Amino acid sequence: MSISKVFVARLANTPAFDQNGDRVGRVRDVIINYRSSQSPRVNGILIELAGASRRVIFAAMNEITSIGSSQLIVDWERVDRHSFEQRGEEVRVFSDLLDRSAIVLASGTRGVVEDVAIQQADDGTWSVEQLFLRMPRTTMHMFGRQPSKYVTWDEVELDLDPTVDTPATQFLTAHSEMGPSDFADALLELPEERRLEVVEEMPDERIAAVLEEMYEDDQVVIIDHLGDERAADVLDQMQPDDAADLVGRLDDEKSEALLALMEPEEAEDVRMLLEFEPNTAGGLMTTDPIIVSADTTVAEALVLIRRQEIPPALATTVFVTASPYETPTGRYLGLVHFQRLLRYPPHERVGSILDSDTQPVPTTATDIDVVRSLARYDLVVLPVVDDDNCLVGAISVDDVLDHILPNDWRSVPREVTLDTQALTLPRKPLIGQLDHQQNRG
């Protein structure tokens, strides 16, 4: 190994490469074998694989040929690439150890573990050498930097029970670069109490984005834990269709309490969506597509698309209606795909470049009709109109995928291929109906 001592907090999200220089993933955590009588042995490193699978695998320390703050090199031929399963005596440094409280035995002072140094011995094994503690401020340090201290393992008393309440800022820092879907997976790997502890430290907007990527049962646990006022704030930040799906899982008393605390406009959208059956276009749609008038210029439309809060799928299409321009709008006129916007000069009016051939679906359209329309017109987003042909929402491909996929799709082993899943996974009625109709025609 090129380095014999490493501070593990610096390894968070470090890219991992094989010996040929090909990137295989990134560091997700460091696994130690906790033994109270001596410094814990470092068992290995968790690597999240690159690519669509995002599977987390375990690389033993003797399979790592180089380790540093900028890269990790792994003897890839020796690594067991099955999904990692944590053993009872193992502790994750990022998730379970960093940011935990520790008592310095000599002084009785309580500090917080901010980093861990691991070191390689002459026999090639690795163990925890030092803990870097952030200590409480004293009168002397009140107006200066917060004091810190290096200690060895036997100099502190540390409770590694994952159910003990501890701060979660280090876990959030270590996973700060993850997108909502991957971060949702990382959260679901934690014990429930630890997961809720982390959620408490997250900003409302981040919680909302992560909840949108979770199975509804896990969403309900988090919403119940947050308390009504904060839960309502989080629901305000969610896409209306996702918020409606979540509120629909709660009992009537809880859902009414949360709707009463939400912003009136957001609550109104959620109430409207709850009126539709889940297997219809109205039940699948979101009420927040990009809507403009026919006089809007290409430049103005592109500005709306660039807004950070717009989900990627919805940002692919601009819908054009008569006034008013918030759902439910005036009469639906047509849509413009962002690629078409890029082909015209900035001063061009979107009303002159409308795609009027793509037909919207009514709120009562079945989920099968929705899928067929998306496929027929090669769309990422499909307009939904009411009986008066006024735009009331839009359905994106990701909404349809969430509806089609089995409820337990996140728990399916990620090494299973798509073809195998198609043969073995329990599928919702929609897929079977589509198969049946395709066979008929």
- Check which CATH number belongs to the domain holding 370 and give it: 3.10.580.10
**Do 166 and 86 belong to one domain?**
yes
The tokens for 316 are 């692919």
- Whether residue 199 contacts residue 165, with contact meaning beta carbons closer than 8 Å, is answered with no
Low-confidence ranges of the chain (pLDDT < 50): 2, 36, 139-143, 162-167, 413-429, 431-441
Does residue 87 lie within any of the structural domains?
yes
Domain termination site, one of 275, 304, 326: 275
State the CB neighbour count (10 A cutoff) for residue 125: 13
Return d(Cα 126, Cα 119) in angstroms, integer. Answer: 5
How many Å apart are CA 126 and CA 4, to the nearest integer? 9
Residue 285 lies in a domain: no
Q: Per the structure, how many domains does the chain have?
A: 4
Domain edge (last residue) among 141, 174, 202 = 202
315, 305 contact by CB (below 8 A): yes
Q: Does residue 280 lie within any of the structural domains?
A: no
Asked whether residue 258 is domain-assigned, the answer is yes
Q: Spell out the SS3 assignment of 389-421.
A: CEEEEEEEHHHHHHHHCCCCHHHCCCCCCHHHH
- Asked, for residue 282, whether it belongs to a domain, the answer is no
Q: From CA 74, how far away is CA 79, in angstroms rounded? A: 8
- Look up tokens 């003897």; give the residue: 75
Please give the Cα distance from 279 to 283 (Å, whole number): 6
The verdict on 35 and 117 lying in the same domain is yes
Ranges assigned E (strand) in 81-120: 90-92, 101-104, 110-120
Whether 371 and 425 map to the same domain: the answer is: no
Predicted local distance difference test score (pLDDT) of residue 423: 36
DSSP 3-state percent helix, strand, coil across the chain (nearest 5): 35, 25, 40
> Is position 40 within any domain?
yes
The answer on 247 and 223 residing in a single domain is: yes
Identify the bridge partners of residue 151 per DSSP, sorted by sequence position: 131
Judgement on whether residues 259 and 297 belong to the same structural domain of the protein: no
What is the model's pLDDT at position 10?
A: 85
What is the distance, to the nearest Å, from the Cα of residue 373 to the centroid of all Cα atoms in its chain?
Answer: 29
Q: What domain range is 250 assigned to?
A: 205-275
User: 61, 43 in Cβ contact below 8 A?
Assistant: yes
What per-residue confidence (pLDDT) applies to 425? 37
Q: 147 and 65: one domain? A: yes
Cα dihedral 187, 188, 190, 195 in deg (nearest 10):
60
User: Has residue 158 been placed in a domain?
Assistant: yes
Same domain flag for 145 and 235: no
- pTM beyond 0.85: the answer is no
Task: Point out the domain boundary residue: 275, 305, 321.
Answer: 275
Q: Which pLDDT tens digit goes with each residue over 261-283?
A: 999 989 999 999 999 988 899 99
- The tokens describing 332, both together, are 């639906």
Closest CA to 240 of 214, 216, 268, 220: 268
Pair of tokens at residue 178:
């993850």
- Is the same domain home to 299 and 196? no
Residue 183: the pLDDT is 87
Please check whether residues 62 and 128 belong to one and the same domain: yes
